[in-house]
Amino acid sequence: MFLFLGTTQLKSNEKNNEIKNKILKNIRCLICQGQSVYDSESDFASSIKLIVEKKIDEESSEEQIYEFLKEKYGNWIIYDPELNKNTYILWLLPLLLFLLGGAIMVKKLRFTK
């Protein structure tokens, strides 16, 4: 019985670790040049890692952690530009162009022999 609990604890630790790494890779190290917090060993990165670990243990969701950091440092700290009123064009424009291109192409093609 203890073994069972032990392995489920191990699995949830693993999952937490996975989530933690995923989050840390998505956070920009603000004092480094182009490194994520995951990749950096700087002071700032170390502090952020501690905070993220603590919040994961407190059962915060990914969203909540990102919101916390964005509130302190602005949107710039998160690498993934989430879909909001500022980024609709960012995400949708390439897709629109793809569809437009497809439409133009289909119009020009010949389907009869």
C-alpha 105/C-alpha 98 separation (Å) is 11
DSSP codes joined into one string, 9-63:
HHHHHHHHHHHHHHHHHTBB-TTSSS-BTTT--SHHHHHHHHHHHHHHHTT--HH
Does 78 engage in binding with other proteins (CB under 8 A)? yes
Does 3 engage in binding with other proteins (CB under 8 A)? no
Does 6 engage in binding with other proteins (CB under 8 A)? no
Does 77 engage in binding with other proteins (CB under 8 A)? yes
Adjacent-strand bridge partners of 28: 36
**Minimum gap (Å) between residue 5 Cβ and other proteins:** 23
Contact at 8 Å (CB) between 80 and 72?
no
Site map 18..37 versus other proteins, x via CB under 8 A: --------x-x-xx-xxx--
Q: List contacts with other proteins (CB under 8 A).
A: 26, 28, 30-31, 33-35, 39, 41, 43-44, 46-48, 50-51, 71-81, 86-87, 89-91, 93-95, 97-98, 101-102, 105, 108-111, 113
